[in-house]
Amino acid sequence: MPRKKRARVEKPPLHVVSLSGGKDSTAMLLLMVEQSMPIDMVVTADTGMEFPEMYRHWDQVEQYLLRKRGLKLTILRHPEGFERMMFDHPVNRAEEWQHVTPYGYGWPGIKKGRWCTGQLKTHLINKAVSQLRKTHKIFHYVGIAADEPERIKGEHYPLCDWGITEAQALQICYDRGFDWGGLYEIYHRCSCWCCPFQRIDELRKLRRHHPQLWAKLLDMDDRALAQFGHNALGRFKDHWTVAELEERFSAEDREISLFDSDKKKGADVMNVLVVEPGMAPYEKEINGLEEMQAVVGGPISALYPFKETTVLVVNDEGINLGLEFNRSIEGGYGGVFGTFFVCGLNEDKFCSLTPEQMEHYKQKYLKAEVLIALNGNKPFTFKVDPRPRIPPDTPKHPPKKPGR
């Protein structure tokens, strides 16, 4: 007799939302609730190195979920956590690393691998979802905005379906009372506060706005250098330790304080090189703090990427304001968004560029750059001929001839 076919049993559906806690995943969750979409579980991963404001945000989201759906957050945590993984976890070193202690992954990095994201976030969530797939038909929702299509990998992406961008996602959250205690007013992204992939200006803001976390980062830096040495495992960034960044930021603070004193006593006129996005650089005379701020279009910050006595003065909020990408900058800075100018540095104050410096930086920044992508702090660009600059006193249209 022919064998009877076993009836296929349909797995029950389970709708799982991944919540990183950032603006995109939060906006997705809020809209899914408002549109009465099915939600059975909301999963997030805690690395142990989130901002204090992020933990309060999670609490706010959970209270919202309890009111609207009777759900609590499912928070996944690695049994060791970031610091134990970094310093104490047994590791099988490659041959070239046999001289280093066999414990601890060291600082995450492009060359060393982003073990933190894999071990403490994505692996935990993917493992949990995979377990659920054994008994359920999983619908997994991930918060990726419509202007990041390159990140789509086969799950469900409601924000992309709805055409909601990153900026719109943030506004959706603000409109509903979710503001992260002001984190997005300060930082471009709200990932782990100790992340070595942060841009230099983000780390500068960490030092300014979260001094206790900065002090903790300095302690971790000391421990890493003592345990691993001055190599890819022990150095926070390829070109910087946290202690070296502290020295640099302190020097910048001294320069910023000089801006105020110069303003009071009347600063000397400086001849600087102004570099605008897409434009050829040009010389300009600047006198005092207000004119410096006018050139860059907002609060200023000083960058020191060169060994010689010159400095780049940039808009401190260039990324957060969404300013146009300008030029790539060496020394671990990545790049500058918005207009900047180059000036000289004479002991404890800014000064004019020498004629030789002026010519050097005109050639250095002669070509404009078009941003293709960002990988952490590293911009990928291609150089193009600059657009012609129209002097501010030049009329946009030729004067009309008087009628007869």
Measured distance CA(213)–CA(161) in Å, rounded:
38
Does residue 164 sit in the same domain as residue 64? yes
Taking residues 216-226, report their average pLDDT.
Answer: 96
Which CATH number characterizes residue 34's domain? 3.40.50.620
**Three-state SS at 372:** strand
Measured distance CA(107)–CA(102) in Å, rounded:
14
- Tokens 């929702």 sit on residue: 141
Does residue 168 sit in the same domain as residue 290? no
Q: Which of 106-110, 228-232, 371-375 has the highest mean pLDDT?
A: 228-232
For residue 368, being part of any structural domain is answered with yes
Examine the pLDDT at 252 and tell me if it is beyond 80: no
For residue 261, being part of any structural domain is answered with no
Count: domains in the chain: 2
Does residue 319 sit in the same domain as residue 171? no
Examine the pLDDT at 264 and tell me if it is beyond 60: no
Does residue 46 sit in the same domain as residue 184? yes
Least confident of 60-74, 219-233, 378-392: 378-392
Q: What is the pLDDT of residues 4-16, one digit of tens each?
A: 666 677 889 999 9
Domain with 136 in it: 13-196
pLDDT of residue 197: 87
Does residue 30 sit in the same domain as residue 153? yes
For residue 156, being part of any structural domain is answered with yes
| Residue at which a domain ends, from 196, 221, 238 | 196
Examine the pLDDT at 250 and tell me if it is beyond 90: no
Does residue 144 sit in the same domain as residue 42? yes
| Residue at which a domain ends, from 196, 212, 233 | 196
For residue 208, being part of any structural domain is answered with no
Contact 236, 242 (CB under 8 A): yes
pLDDT of residue 404: 39
Q: What is the pLDDT of residues 64-114, one digit of tens each?
A: 999 999 999 999 999 999 999 999 999 888 877 788 888 999 999 766 678
Burial bucket for residue 291 (CB in 10 Å: 0-12, 13-18, 19+) = middle
For residue 391, being part of any structural domain is answered with no
| Residue at which a domain ends, from 196, 214, 242 | 196
For residue 371, being part of any structural domain is answered with yes
Examine the pLDDT at 403 and tell me if it is beyond 50: no
**Three-state SS at 113:** strand
For residue 399, being part of any structural domain is answered with no
For residue 403, being part of any structural domain is answered with no
